[in-house]
Amino acid sequence: MFSLYTEDEPNHKIGFSSYKTIFYKNFNLRRKVPVKDTCNLCDSFNAKIKNFQHDVVLREEQELQHKQHLLKAQEARESMKHDMEEAKTNNKLETATYDIEKVLGLPKLPTNIVYYKRQLSIYNEGVHTSSNDTPYCFVWKEGTAGRGAQEVGSCLKKFVDMYLTPETEELILWSDSCGGQNRNIKIVLLLKAILEAHPLLKTIYLKYLIPGHSFLPNDTDFGEIERSIKYQIHNLVFLASSSKGTPERLSQLSVDEQPEAASSSAKRSRGMINIFNDEKVVAALDKSKVSNRDAVHLAAAIVQSLRIDLETVTLNMSSVRLARQKVRDARAIKIKTYFKTMELKALVLHSDGKLMEDVNKREKFTHSSGKWKY
Ligand SMILES: [Zn+2]
């Protein structure tokens, strides 16, 4: 930092100690060496170099190999940077980096008992696009699916289906070299299927960073999510807002989506949930006199606010009408059966008078002990 300052400001000469004092006193900033996973190859080279202190030939050989390894890592990083920059100017090219976040255990509670309980594991596959510098989160829980190549592939397929700009002809995907999740035949076959199904996409490049040196833009997104969860969040839904996100950029994967993407079928998942088939929902709609059209608007807003993918919910007027009719018919049959099985000798109807007066205008209701009696 100090050398950068002296380069930028050659006219303002200042000593390192004065610079350090100003930095610590006048700014609310501190510095420390970042704690991160170290590369096992680098660690091994460092250990060997240390051991060969007295053997110059062997030490230099190790140093050379280490240098070549670092150079390779640097080249890969620069190539990724170049692809990311190019995606910003070329609208037919998209560069996306993808990675799976470390397992998040929910709920996050300060109560000590949480340390003795097993938390629910939440998985998040992050995809970061370079053209608009945007992170996308694909979230699911442990009961839905695992976190292998098929799940990573499902997320990539969903990303291409939902978020890839339609004019894209070339897609470059960068990831780390994790064999179980990213660098395997399943991902290659799935991308081949995506390529065949997509109307405009012509090429997909799969590129990998050197193991141990794979810092992706996704890591920054994950850092933000984890920081937000640590300090304030108690609910999975807030994952979106914690990652500079909007609801549109957070997708929850459902059980049905996993086999769909894994088998590379083009079958759509539209309309899997019909919330209007619920008797309670229909009763509430009837009670508040909501029309079918308004019911669709209301449901769409509620579904969106719950961060549920709209494509997985049936939302149209005819399905609302049919569902309401079905629930009403079922309710009518239930009431009729109930009355038929009862051996009634007398029937007392309790109601507010306003409604009952219209039922049969010829008969009169009499009031007895606070209730209307027929
Ligand atoms: Zn290394």
Residue 146 in 3-state DSSP?
A: coil
Tell how many helices (H) and how many strands (E) occur in the chain.
13, 9
State how far the Cα of 139 lies from the Cα of 141, in Å rounded to an integer.
7
292: containing domain? 270-343
Decide if pLDDT at 136 tops 60.
Answer: yes
DSSP letter string, 28-85: S----PPP-PPPHHHHHHHHHHHHTTT-HHHHHHHHHHHHHHHHHHHHHHHHHHHHHH
Confidence of residue 364 (pLDDT cuts 50, 70, 90): low
- Distance from the alpha carbon of residue 40 to the mean position of ligand 1, in angstroms: 7
Identify whether 367 is part of a domain: yes
Identify whether 57 is part of a domain: no
pTM tops 0.85, yes or no: no
243, two tokens: 């990652």
The whole-angstrom distance between residue 61's C-alpha and the CA centroid of its chain comes to 46
What average pLDDT score do residues 310-319 get? 79
Using a CB cutoff of 5 Å, list residues around ligand 1, an ion.
39, 41-42, 212
Q: Which of 210, 231, 262 is the last residue of a domain?
A: 262
**40-70 tens-digit pLDDT:** 889 999 999 999 888 889 999 999 999 999 9
- Distance from the alpha carbon of residue 122 to the mean position of ligand 1, in angstroms: 30
Residues 116 and 27 in one domain: no
Identify whether 280 is part of a domain: yes
- Distance from the alpha carbon of residue 212 to the mean position of ligand 1, in angstroms: 5
- Distance from the alpha carbon of residue 47 to the mean position of ligand 1, in angstroms: 13
Residues 183 and 291 in one domain: no
Identify whether 53 is part of a domain: no
- Distance from the alpha carbon of residue 53 to the mean position of ligand 1, in angstroms: 20
pLDDT value at residue 237:
45
Identify whether 64 is part of a domain: no
Q: 15: buried, middle or exposed (CB in 10 Å: 19+, 13-18, 0-12)?
A: exposed
- Distance from the alpha carbon of residue 51 to the mean position of ligand 1, in angstroms: 18
- Distance from the alpha carbon of residue 68 to the mean position of ligand 1, in angstroms: 10
Q: Closest Cα partner for 104 from 271, 285, 204, 238?
A: 238
- Distance from the alpha carbon of residue 103 to the mean position of ligand 1, in angstroms: 24
Decide if pLDDT at 130 tops 50.
Answer: yes
**Residue partners of 119: CB distance under 8 A and separation at least 6:** 105, 106, 107
**331-347 tens-digit pLDDT:** 888 888 888 887 777 77
Identify whether 139 is part of a domain: yes
The number of distinct structural domains making up the chain is 4
